Chain A
Amino acid sequence: MRVATQTGPVNAGAASAGPGRFRRVKPVMRTILSRPSGMAGAVLVTFHLLLVIIAPVIAPYDVTQQDADRILEAPSMAHWMGTDSLGRDVLSRTMLGGQVSILITLAASLIAAVWGGAVGVSLGLVGGRIDEVCMRLVDAFLAIPGLLFLLLIVSFAGGGVFALIPTLSFFNGISVVRIGRGAAQSVAARDFITAARVRGHHSRFIIFREMLPNLQDILLVEWAMRWSWMMLAFSSLSFLGFGASPPTPDWGLMISDSREFLTVAPWAGFWPALFLSTLIIGINLFADALGKALYVDRENRAPG
């Protein structure tokens, strides 16, 4: 009953919003922001995304500009976060350090969610031998430690954006396949899918109009989780020298560069590490809150 009273206003909001593609956005966002962890996640992710856009404008220094006189300088009024081993401004580099990784991982995670989701849903629907064989392949891939395999491929194909995006999205897509397949199977077993089949709808109608609306929540949350995982993976690759290439400012790369001077100039490594971890924590918190909010939204639509 307690739940029912809570859902009252939310329900009314949902009903008054009427039909429309984005009728759920508002109530879901409200639920996310109503939790401290969801609020924290949303703030962190928004902060980082905004930074990607405005950093080039507000960064005080040119990120590649070296200054031999100011090597490993401690934080000062001129350089708020100090300088690195080549005398570059840590603040400017940290602000821009997420640009490459965020853009690449965003793109790669979207690709992963789309291909993984599509393949997973199809396998769930097709079933039979094809499904059986594909799922064993998926199992095999999932058994390999991800980062090691990434390293192997990247060291053969070389780093760079055009090798990284396909590799990252391929490996992450595989776990989306698994999730998508399971979800599709459970939805496909429901009577309304049978009803649509018996009525004689095209499989296109069944997949896109009947099934997808029931799968999008799961895929959305999975995408967010993949994004966070990829951020970590990309930064690790950069740290190991396979990701972003110098002199591009990148958190993983910056942490790697600062490693030798960690005892003398901890600021050069601390700030990029802090930014990277806040983003990843932010994405995780947000994904978690998103999942819960979508669940709450579904339940709200089913009072009693």
Chain B
Amino acid sequence: MENLSAGVVMPGCGPLPILRNVSFRVLPGETLGLVGESGSGKSTLALTMMGYLSEGLVKLGGDVHFGGHSMFEAGTGTLQALRGGEICLIPQNAGQSLTPTMTIGQQIDEALMLHTDLSPRERKRQVVELLEQVRMPEPAVIARRHPHALSGGQQQRCAVAMALAGRPRVLLLDEPTTGLDVTTQVHILELLRELAKSRQVAMVFVSHDLGAVARVSDRIAVLYSGELVEIGPSTRILKSPEHPYTRGLLASIPRMDGARVPEVLPGYPPPLAGPRERCAFAPRCSAAKDPCTAGRPALDVRGERYRVRCHFRRDELDDPGSLVRPSTRPRNGVPASSLLEVRNVAITYSRKSLLSRFTGKEDRARVLTVDDVSFTVHRGETIGVVGESGSGKSTILRAIVGLQPPCRGDIRMEGSRPLDDRVDTRPLACKKEIQLVFQNPDSSLNPRKTVAEIISAPLELYFGMERGPARERAAQLLQSVRLTEHYLDRTPGQLSGGEKQRVGIARAFAAEPKLALCDEVTSALDVSVQAAVLDLLSNLQREMGVAYLFVSHDLATVRSVADRVLVLYQGRICETGPVESVFAPPFHPYTGALMRAILEPDPDRRPRVEIKDTVESAPPRQGCPFQRRCPHKPGKICDREAPPAQELANGHRIYCHLSPAILHS
């Protein structure tokens, strides 16, 4: 048996260590999940395992052993043969790591040429075989395509196929599924698991997503601020973690059972570099006691292949049960008055053809991105909108704010007032009522303005405030998003991702809106930060009585914040109703498939994949939008007729030809 071990590695910046005494070993056929928040040194560690140090880093001590080789002492020739051959790294964004000018086949062929001595003809066959192994439909066709013609999930598969070309014994995966849809994620993870087992490949799976890690790993290592804090069998870590950080991390993940609100892990990780005389987690640890600040704990062996870096044992810490708190979200029994009404809205991005403009007839060739979407948002409630990428979630938000005029239907505020199609023609008071919080805080804040200027803009615009009072109010708003006024003179570049998102939220709330549209507001953030932002949003709602339209691809997040949910597929509503009803049977086949594909850090729950992760570029001309991917398709009727709305209890509605009784099972 081949033995791989990564020894003590300490690269650092001059005398400042980035990674401290990280050591573990991975056996063939075994998968180690490496978890940590952004900035914990995950990616540096992954690169170090390849024997590569990023610019400016030096090795302070330790070594990486692979087979009989030391990755840091091996010659360039040996390293070149090892990298890409025996040991392979699959980077986070495979789409960007594929060469855009070469076909997939050529790229895999190149890898084969380098690492095997097959003849061109054998290689050609091998290319198709590899693509087949990563479960590509029509591998021969895919081989002739260029990367841009493939979906994100397919690109990721190609990267895996390329990595497999060299028959690696070790695969390093750096956030391989981040940014993909749930169903795609599960497909890829499933694939990786099988490959690792069947080919006896040792895998190191680096991710911040505990759900994904739980799915593939035999063992899990938790990295915090450049050091391992806990490493052991995944079942044990997921079920009864010992280290307070791991416990906090697990508690901050929203769960589908809805029994708990994600717990907020207070504070931020310390800077990686710098001297360290105490437990790195102590400042954020709720169980911190004197010894924690006095000395740095050692990685304690606690059972077979299980080590924890904490001064205390599990039973010496607080009862972990206290971390679970029941949902405190008040569900309003009486529906409040309606705030926003969206009626039969259809949106298209294509222009009307010349002919149909003359005849005034509806253009049949036009693709409607969103069709026949109706829903009502009541005062102070949260509507969750879920669906995969391309389901038209963001398009609906764009229509509501007036960036993308709907081609049919109308949008009304407060029951009667219709909103103009275009934002430029709406009165200012109307714009003030609806505010947007964006997905990506890097792009939604002007990098050239200070936080004070950013938050003052809506204050000056809507309330005619002068610079001085606006600044004071901005400071207050910062406080309500739990930032201090020291932030006023900083520019967005000086803030972390979570801080930027808070500034974005403060800016939206500066307008004192009635409705806040949240477009994937947490998807760019770390889990612990995500929990803090969700917590903040629900507090603000309680204080200000604002309604949210909360768009997300993450069902668990929506589950934890929303009162009512819309499930969208291809811009059509599949299912709608109160969260409790929608996320419980009977399901629309699509909701059901999404639900079962959810990745949760629970070793007992294995996600199932029922639907193919093919991306449909356009909805079918007629019939049910989900007809091509539906696992329960009853017959031809789905291709011909649009599914009827089936009313169930509590305003729960499912658009499907199947009866609720069948959907229930």
Contacts and interface: CB of A to CB of B under 8 A. Distances in A.
B380 to A, nearest CB: 22
Contacts of B436: 194-195, 198
B273 A1 contact: yes
Interface residues on B, range: 35 or more
Given A210-B446, A298-B447, A198 B56 contact: no
Interface in B430-450: 431-432, 434-436, 438, 440, 443-450
B614 interface: no
A214 B39 contact: no
Contacts of B57: 1-2
Given A2-B55, A302-B493, A303-B494, A198 B402 contact: yes
Contacts of B424: 197
Contact of B13 (A1, A18, A190, A304): A1
Contacts, number: 90
A208 B13 CA distance: 42
A119 to B, nearest CB: 22
Interface in A1-29: 1-3, 5, 11, 15, 18-19
B449 A199 contact: no
Nearest to B56: A2
A302 B447 contact: yes
Contacts of A2: 13, 55-57
Interface string A183-221: 000000011101111111100000001100110000000
Given A1-B13, A19-B450, A199-B457, A192 B431 contact: no
Interface in A266-304: 298, 300-304
Given A1-B57, A190-B443, A213 B403 contact: no
Interface string B414-432: 0000000001101010011
A304 B440 CA distance: 16
Contacts of A209: 457
Contact of A201 (B13, B16, B457): B457
Nearest to A212: B448
B447 A197 contact: no
A195 B397 CA distance: 13
Contacts of B453: 19
Nearest to A301: B493
Contacts of A298: 447, 493
Contacts of A304: 39, 496
B428 A214 contact: no
B13 A192 contact: no
A188 B512 CA distance: 26
B13 A19 contact: no
A19 B432 CA distance: 28
Nearest to A197: B423
B402 A199 contact: no
Contacts of B446: 192, 210, 213-214
Contacts of A196: 457
B18 interface: yes
A213 B454 CA distance: 13
Interface in B387-404: 401-403
Given A1-B18, A213-B448, A191 B423 contact: no
B491 interface: yes
Nearest to B443: A191
B489 interface: yes
Interface residues on A, range: 20 to 34
B280 interface: no
A63 B453 CA distance: 54
B278 interface: no
Given A1-B57, A1-B273, A200-B426, A191 B458 contact: no
Given A198-B423, A199-B511, A301 B56 contact: no
A2 B445 CA distance: 27
A19 B456 CA distance: 14
Contacts of B428: 200
Contacts of B16: 1
B396 to A, nearest CB: 14
Contact of B489 (A1, A18, A192): A18
B298 interface: no
A1 B401 CA distance: 41
Contact of A15 (B14, B403, B445, B490): B490
A190 B272 CA distance: 31
B282 to A, nearest CB: 22
B505 to A, nearest CB: 12
B301 interface: no
A192 B443 contact: yes
A28 B490 CA distance: 18
Contacts of B450: 19
Given A199-B431, A199-B457, A301-B447, A11 B13 contact: no
A192 B444 contact: yes
A200 B438 contact: no
B461 A199 contact: yes
Contact of B491 (A5, A197, A198, A301): A301
Contacts of A190: 443-444
A190 B447 CA distance: 11
Given A1-B273, A301-B447, A198 B403 contact: yes
Nearest to A302: B493
B4 to A, nearest CB: 27
Contacts of A191: 438, 440, 443-444
A200 B423 contact: yes
Interface in A100-123: none
B520 to A, nearest CB: 12
Contacts of B448: 213-214
Given A2-B56, A19-B450, A200 B461 contact: yes
Nearest to B446: A192
Contacts of B452: 19
Contacts of A199: 431, 435, 457-458, 461, 511
Nearest to A192: B446
Contacts of A18: 489
Contacts of A302: 447, 492-494
A8 B150 CA distance: 42
A198 B428 CA distance: 10
Interface in B490-528: 490-494, 496, 507, 511
Nearest to B54: A1
A196 B490 CA distance: 20
Contacts of B493: 298, 300-303
A24 to B, nearest CB: 10
A99 B572 CA distance: 70
A15 B488 CA distance: 11
Interface string A157-199: 0000000000000000000000000000000001110111111
Nearest to B508: A195
Nearest to B11: A1
B431 A198 contact: yes
A197 B39 CA distance: 34
Contact of A213 (B434, B438, B449, B490): B449
A201 B461 contact: yes
Given A1-B272, A191-B443, 13 more contacts: A5-B13, A19-B452, A191-B440, A192-B446, A198-B423, A199-B511, A200-B432, A200-B461, A201-B461, A214-B447, A298-B493, A301-B493, A302-B492
12 contacts: A1-B13, A1-B18, A3-B56, A19-B452, A191-B438, A194-B403, A195-B436, A197-B423, A198-B434, A200-B432, A213-B446, A214-B447
A-B CB proximity, top 7 nearest: A2-B56, A302-B493, A213-B448, A301-B493, A191-B444, A200-B431, A1-B13
Interface of B: 13-14, 16, 18, 39, 55-57, 272-273, 401-403, 423-424, 426, 428, 431-432, 434-436, 438, 440, 443-450, 452-453, 457-458, 461, 489-494, 496, 507, 511
